Structure 1
Amino acid sequence: MRKEKVSQPPILPLFIAFACYGALLVLMATHLFWSWSGMASLGLLFQIFISPILMLWVALESSRNLVLSSYHLWIFRVAGLYFIVLLILALLLYT
């Protein structure tokens, strides 16, 4: 982003998106390969209550700046896709 001289780089939205998707991957790996733990339960609570609010904020914040750069457009798409991915994984893993 610095090399392309993006005027308002979406650093905080990118950090939030990586954190939410990372927590989702950790939950998926815990469910599939390891035994459930207290930390996994905290991660699940994060995914249920906090993560959707954060990703909604990322989507709304990014929707105002879609024309600034391709980074803003992609972070908007990633934030919108998160809800679909969360629903699909919940249906696959917990049913």
Structure 2
Amino acid sequence: MRHTNEEIEHAAERFDKLAGELDPATAKIENTEDLRMVAVVAEATRADEARLREAVEVARAHGRSWNHIAVALGVSRQAARQRFSRQEHVS
């Protein structure tokens, strides 16, 4: 199940609030740096995916073929088209 950016942002805000309310002197605190890193990388991945989709859309608007885009992506033409062609039909 994919979560929306709003859901993820809300969860991160809840996490930060809960983390801020903990008293290290009285609470057993598990090191969650690894989970924080997962959240940071996941957000960066979403942002990168959005930039990639935009770049493909611009390339298509400039008349680039799926073959040229596929070469730039390092995938087959079919893979590039299947992954990104849906955005051409969205207004």
Question: With structure 2 as the length reference, what TM-score do the two structures score?
Answer: 0.36
RCO higher in 1 or 2 (8 Å CA, sep ≥ 6)?
1
Question: With structure 1 as the length reference, what TM-score do the two structures score?
Answer: 0.35
Larger radius of gyration: 2
